[in-house]
C-alpha cells in the first residue's frame, strides 16, 4: 500500500501540484455532478494526475483511468485527493 509510514496530505484537487499522482479521497457537491464524475471514472480510490492548469483561473486538465479530462477549478474544488509526501 502506498502511503504507509509516509506523511499523507489531503487537499483539494485544485491545489495539487502538476505531475504528481494522487488518490481521490472523496467527492462533494451536487448529486448530479458526482454522478457525472463517477461515470467519467473519478471515484474514491482512483489515481489522478493533474496535467496542466489553464491560465487566469481557467480549467484544469487531469488524467484519470487512462483518459484526460478538463474540469473547472470551481468543480475541482469538490474533489478531495491525497498524496504521500515521498521524497
Residues within the interface to another protein (CB under 8 A): 31-41, 43-46, 52-59, 61, 64-72, 75
Q: Which helix (H) or strand (E) holds 36?
A: helix 31-39
CB of residue 28 vs another protein: minimum separation in angstroms? 11
Closer of 9 and 34 to another protein (Cβ): 34
The three-class DSSP label of residue 65 is coil
The least CB distance from residue 7 to another protein, in Å, is 26
* Residue tagged 479530462 (cell numbers): 69
Locate 28 and state its grid cell.
462533494
Report the residue number, 2 or 65, with the smaller CB distance to another protein: 65
Task: Please report where in the chains the cell 474544488 appears, as a residue.
Answer: 77
Amino acid at each position: 500500500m502506498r502511503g504507509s509510514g509516509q506523511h499523507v496530505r489531503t487537499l483539494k484537487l485544485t491545489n495539487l501540484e502538476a505531475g504528481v499522482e494522487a488518490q481521490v479521497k472523496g467527492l462533494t457537491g451536487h448529486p448530479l455532478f458526482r454522478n457525472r464524475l463517477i461515470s467519467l471514472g473519478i471515484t474514491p480510490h482512483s489515481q489522478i494526475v493533474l496535467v496542466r492548469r489553464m491560465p487566469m483561473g481557467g480549467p484544469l486538465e487531469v488524467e484519470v483511468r487512462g483518459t484526460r479530462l478538463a474540469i473547472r477549478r470551481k468543480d475541482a474544488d469538490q474533489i478531495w485527493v491525497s498524496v504521500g509526501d515521498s521524497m
